[in-house]
A and B are shown apart, each in its own frame.
Chain A
């Protein structure tokens, strides 16, 4: 097993913002069960500010820790600020990830962005430039038992 930093283990053991938001303004789901990681991110957005965020994750220690850290990094931030969030920031905030696990942080970034895309689609507002050609790498919303 990979050696995880203290910060990763802390976010794995005590994940922040776990759960669902029933009346979420935007929901994003990325990854697929085939590869062993699925992240689902729920956002409440008020006046372009992320007022609440919750997540659910199926995956390894790093998948859970990066989801948790991503929610911490975006809570209370404006959408513009959130759009500058990269997977690198998540990795740094966790004091690093084993090389094999960096893809989990990419997934976390994509989960946030995909929830924002959902928000813009639902609200009918024009998407900011940064989200215009956003595509997730993993085929999200895949039925979990497809093999």
Chain B
């Protein structure tokens, strides 16, 4: 796999830092009625190539947490480190699949992906860059729609382009904020499977927010469950032991699946139920 940061530059600490570290991370928003603490001293480590889903009630601070990993927001205290380097701003090593696709409407699917590849690998020959784009559009099954503009694509296709764009630049971490929330059930399952397959090929580390417990159980190595805000923390982390490659029907027949599912439901709807 290609990496953007040379391994040699990893600082030599006594204990080697894990791949991605969320270290005592807090976020406080100043509001008119005083400070509002969204996240309070959150700690999490993620190893390279891991698939982590974050689940929690609306407004608990999931987007805030991932925005501090992607660098779009700054922590009030604590820090996020990727391979020992503190994250201070957004960058292509932590590519984001945005919730509303964020494709440029005046560019075709191909051009949208090409813009990303071209800006991250400006020195590659044009032919190579085009090959990368075609390869990734093919991965999400969109070769035929390469020359269509986002306006002519369905929601699922737009999200596919967005995923192709994100992976075509070979990020170290892929961040997805509720990527499939707006899609119908069938498209959603198709995209989950495509995402898993691409993740297997790229061995990219994935952080993904979802509201869907079954989605998290199908995709993730670990499911991070957050307590309710204000001052949310990580309440519990579920290890998902199903072997890969995963087949949806097999997993759902596994009795362990329901133990995990109930554990998650219990966490979300009994211990941290919302009262509205």
The answer to whether A and B assemble together is no
Q: Which residues of A contact B (CB under 8 A)?
A: none
Q: Which residues of B contact A (CB under 8 A)?
A: none
